[in-house]
Structure 1
Amino acid sequence: MGAITTIVHFSMPAQNVERFFAFWQETIRPVVERQPGLLDGVFHRYVDADGPFQFINVARWESAELLAEALRSTAEEIRGNGVEMLDVFSELGVTVSQNNYLEAVRYRAEDVRDL
């Protein structure tokens, strides 16, 4: 099947945005970065405070199997550090929507040169 891209949308009350971002940076990110199969990722922050999602994480993984294992391992490792990720999400009012995709077409800006 090949590489897979996961796109995760995070929504929460505005007053919890900074706490969630700190939790993601300090607790989740270091664990995810060590997971086998991670190719790369970009964690996006909203521009429009009234938008439906405050954060969107786009990450590419070597395979769907490695992504599934990474999700399980990440939650397990964080739990092993005495933190239940879902409890933190619940406390902050975070809702999560995750969808996985296979690459259909790759594109990029064309080089523009003076003739």
Structure 2
Amino acid sequence: MQLYTDAATEPVTKRSAAGILLIDQGQQHQYKQPLPLGDNHTAEFLAAIAGFKTLLDTFGPGQSVFFFTDSQVVAESVSKAYSKNFNVELQTLLHLQDQCQVVITQWIPESENHGAHQLAQQGLHLKP
């Protein structure tokens, strides 16, 4: 199973949205949702949390997951299991990941996260 997440944030309004792309046996599942107001780094964590919640709700626990994010802060925090500024969000994310059989987290450049990015951009236009 592959999980791609991304967040989009409007700098002026602080509105954010998550884009979630799940690929299971070649089948794509696309999701977008508004997120609470805030900065982009927080939104990236919230998008990852939303992605794992969606994965667990849709496919149940015990999945093996390749998790892709273009947020270096999220990828590094998961790798170290530590974040000075986003500890609450990180602990929530790690708790969700613990419900999976295995999670391999990989940072990818934004140019390789196009699907989740487009979904997050579309999510900004959803009514909160």
Fold similarity call, TM over 0.5: no
TM-score computed with the length of structure 2 as normaliser: 0.26
Higher relative contact order, chain-length normalized (CA < 8 Å, sep 6+)? 1
**Which protein shows a greater Rg?**
1
TM-score computed with the length of structure 1 as normaliser: 0.28
